[in-house]
Amino acid sequence: MMGEPVVVMLVEDNADHAELVIRTLEDHRIANKIQHFRDGQAALDYLFRRKEYEAPESSPRPHMILLDLRLPRVDGLEVLRVIKEEEALKNIPVIILTTSEAEKDVAQAYGSHVNSYLVKPVGFEEFSKLMNDLGFYWLGWNTHPRV
């Protein structure tokens, strides 16, 4: 990632949660570009460069995907499954960021090869710290293959 802009894909339908994630990532200077999608279908269109995302220069591969579970059109677990089955996408770290602590959701996410599963903290300070630590871990400290 040396020298290239850091792109984070956020797939979140709740406007308040999305704003909090975006603001926290920007405040901590974790990402140079945040691509926000409100539904799973739009996220898949971007990743597979369909429709308005056809040109690679307008749809750079994300370095990390933050994915909610409960999404319109295509739910988060299906988005995760499709990403991890696609050779060109499967090495992108996918982090579930959700309010669900249900064991079934956690098991299904790890069964579909999620890289991490995080439950959104309620308080702003805790959420901000989580996003800061998450950004530094996945985009700073962690070593992974080029996407």
Per-residue pLDDT at 129 exceeds 60: yes
pTM of the model: 0.88
- If one compares 143 and 7, the residue with the highest pLDDT of the two is 7
Q: What is the pLDDT of residues 55-88, one digit of tens each?
A: 888 889 998 999 999 999 999 999 999 999 999 9
The class (CATH top level) of 7-140 is alpha beta
Measure the CA–CA gap between 46 and 105, rounded to whole angstroms: 25
Q: Would you state the pLDDT for residue 142?
A: 64
Q: Would you state the pLDDT for residue 1?
A: 46
127: tokens are 């959420």
Measure the CA–CA gap between 46 and 38, rounded to whole angstroms: 12
Per-residue pLDDT at 11 exceeds 70: yes
> What residues does 8 pair with on adjacent strands?
34, 64
Write down the mean pLDDT value for the chain: 87
Mean predicted confidence (pLDDT) in 29-51: 91
